Amino acid sequence: MRILAVRGGNLASLAEPFEIDLAAEPLADAGLFAITGETGAGKSTLLDALCLALYGDFPRVADGADQDLPDVADQTVKAKDPRNILRKGASRAEAEVDFVGVDGRTYRASWSVHRARGRAGGQLQPARHLLVRLDAEGAPVETLADKTGAVKARVVALTDLTFDQFRRTVVLAQGEFDAFLRAADADRADLLEKITGTEIYARLSVAAHEANRAAREAVERARERRAALGLASPEARAVAHLLRAENDAVLVGVGTVARDDPELTVRHTVGPDPLRVVLDARCSMSPGARVAQGALVFVGAEA
């Protein structure tokens, strides 16, 4: 996941529309840069805009108390409601982020809120959340989601980071710099894998374990089949070898008889007795043929 640009307007102390283009100079090749300014200038609000556009929430209100705060015209709004970021006296606020997902494609996530009838004193309306895919020129080509829940789910899939993971790795709000250190061992390991991209080794380990297990099971099944079939003893193998030799000798004799007596045909039977050879006489069977057939029947019986 790579952030390309962050835009917004009327967010907390940032009244004017702003854009931070990380894909353009001088930031494109900066590698590392700092956001500086006086207290209240809007430094943290830039990070709030980033979180808002992607997840529809930001750390400074996500952990807020579940209490009502006064709004315009005797109305109230929850302290943890992200719409609180709307600048006082403004009727509309928005945040937008262009980013490259883990699939290599470019997307734009946007969040906005407005007051009724476009008036600063109007009732606060539900926030709108949108996720679109961009083409190579940065123009929207496909709307992927237009509800906060659906947008968040798609963003998690495209960034491979939940909001909680994002706020502890990519964005550390003021007062949360030790969030990573305070995280549980399992959570810290999961975050490190996602940051460094080494989660592939965990998947390879699982795949290797599964392949090893499947191979062991295949070997065990083969052993069970072998045990069920049993192995021929040396004596049995010797008898089988002798019978094959005798069968070959008889077949040679049958071939001689059949060659001398053209009225005979020789065919092998396919069945439980593969050593048996049947002589079909179109006329009367010659004495030599009867002797050969008897020998074959004998061999077949002994087999």
- Residue 58 shares a structural domain with residue 24: yes
Cα–Cα distance measured from residue 49 to residue 32, given in angstroms and rounded to the nearest whole number: 20
What is the Cα–Cα distance from 20 to 37, expressed in whole angstroms? 15
Range of the domain at 226: 198-231
Helices assigned H by DSSP within 110-198? 148-159, 163-169, 179-182, 185-196
The reply to whether 138 and 238 lie within a common domain is no
> Which of 197, 212, 246 marks a domain boundary?
197
Q: What's the pLDDT score for residue 178?
A: 62
* pLDDT at site 194: 63
Residues 128 and 151 in one domain: yes
The 8-class DSSP code of residue 56 comes to S
Q: How far is CA 119 from CA 115, 127, 237, in A?
A: 6, 16, 100
Give which of 144, 135, 133 is closest to 107, Cα–Cα: 133
Q: What is the pLDDT of residue 240?
A: 72
pLDDT (tens digit, 9 = 90+) per residue, 226-282?
777 665 667 767 777 777 777 676 666 656 655 555 555 544 444 444 444 444 444
The arithmetic mean of pLDDT across residues 91-106, rounded, is: 96
| pLDDT number for residue 57 | 92
Residues 188 and 218 in one domain: no
Kindly state the tokens that stand for 199.
């989660």
| pLDDT reading at 296 higher than 90 | no
Which pTM does this prediction carry? 0.59
- Structural contact between residues 275 and 296, judged by C-beta atoms closer than 8 angstroms: yes
If one compares 276 and 205, the residue with the highest pLDDT of the two is 205
For residues 80 and 63, the answer to whether their CB atoms sit within 8 Å is yes
Q: Which of 47, 55, 60 is nearest to 6 (CA)?
A: 47
Residue 282: strand, helix, or coil? coil
Q: Are residues 115 and 153 in the same domain?
A: yes
Measured in whole angstroms, the distance separating CA 303 from the mean position of its chain's CA atoms is 58
Q: Are 40 and 165 in the same domain?
A: yes
The pLDDT value given to residue 258: 56
- Distance, CA of 155 to chain centre: 16
Which candidate, 166, 56, 44, 169, places its Cα nearest to that of 109? 56
Question: Are 116 and 209 in a shared domain?
Answer: no
Question: Of the candidates 145, 180, 197, which is a domain's last residue?
Answer: 197
Segment 135-191, tens digit of pLDDT: 999 999 999 999 999 999 999 999 999 998 888 777 766 655 566 677 777 777 776
Which pLDDT does position 252 carry in this prediction?
64
Assess whether 181 and 203 both reside in one domain: no
Is the domain of 66 the same as that of 184?
Answer: yes
Which CATH number characterizes residue 130's domain? 3.40.50.300
Last residue of a domain, one of 197, 214, 248: 197
Residue 277: strand, helix, or coil: strand
Half-sphere exposure of 210 (CA within 13 A, CB side): 6
Top-confidence range, 29-33, 59-63, 75-79, 96-100: 96-100
> Are residues 169 and 257 both part of a single domain?
no
Q: How far apart are CA 162 and CA 84, in angstroms?
A: 22
Does 164 share its domain with 294?
no
Overall domain count for the chain: 3
Section 101-114 average pLDDT: 96
Q: For position 32, what pLDDT does the model report?
A: 84
- Examine the domain organization and report whether 224 and 275 are in the same domain: no
